[in-house]
C-alpha cells in the first residue's frame, strides 16, 4: 500500500495563518529570556494585561516574515553562485 499525501487548500492555509496571527496578537507569547524580552519591548511591542506575554500584532508578524523571506532568497541566490 502506498502512502497518500494530502495537502491543505490555499483557503485553509490562509485561515490557519490568520488564526495564528490572531493568537499572537491577542494572546501573545511568553518570552522567558530577559534580554530578548527587553529588546522586543524596546522595539515597541506591548504586553498583555498581566504583563506576562509579549503581543505580536499581525502587521509586525507579516513584516518579520517578509524580512525572513528576503534573507532566505538572498542566501539561496548566493549559494547558487
Residue 56's pLDDT is what? 97
Residue 80's pLDDT is what? 73
Residue 59's pLDDT is what? 95
d(CA 59, CA 44): 13
End-to-end CA distance of the chain: 42
Q: Summarize pLDDT for 26-67 with one digit per residue, the tens.
A: 999 999 999 999 999 999 999 999 999 999 999 999 999 999
Residue 6's pLDDT is what? 84
d(CA 21, CA 28): 9
In whole angstroms, how far apart are CA 18 and each of 15, 60, 78, 80? 5, 13, 32, 34
Entry pTM: 0.77
CB 1 within 8 Å of CB 38? no
Amino acid at each position: 500500500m502506498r502512502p497518500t499525501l494530502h495537502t491543505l487548500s490555499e483557503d485553509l492555509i490562509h485561515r490557519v495563518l490568520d488564526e495564528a496571527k490572531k493568537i499572537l496578537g491577542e494572546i501573545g507569547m511568553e518570552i522567558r529570556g530577559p534580554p530578548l524580552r527587553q529588546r522586543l519591548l524596546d522595539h515597541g511591542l506591548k504586553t498583555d494585561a498581566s504583563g506576562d506575554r509579549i503581543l505580536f500584532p499581525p502587521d509586525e508578524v507579516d513584516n518579520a516574515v517578509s524580512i525572513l523571506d528576503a534573507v532566505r532568497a538572498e542566501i539561496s541566490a548566493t549559494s547558487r553562485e
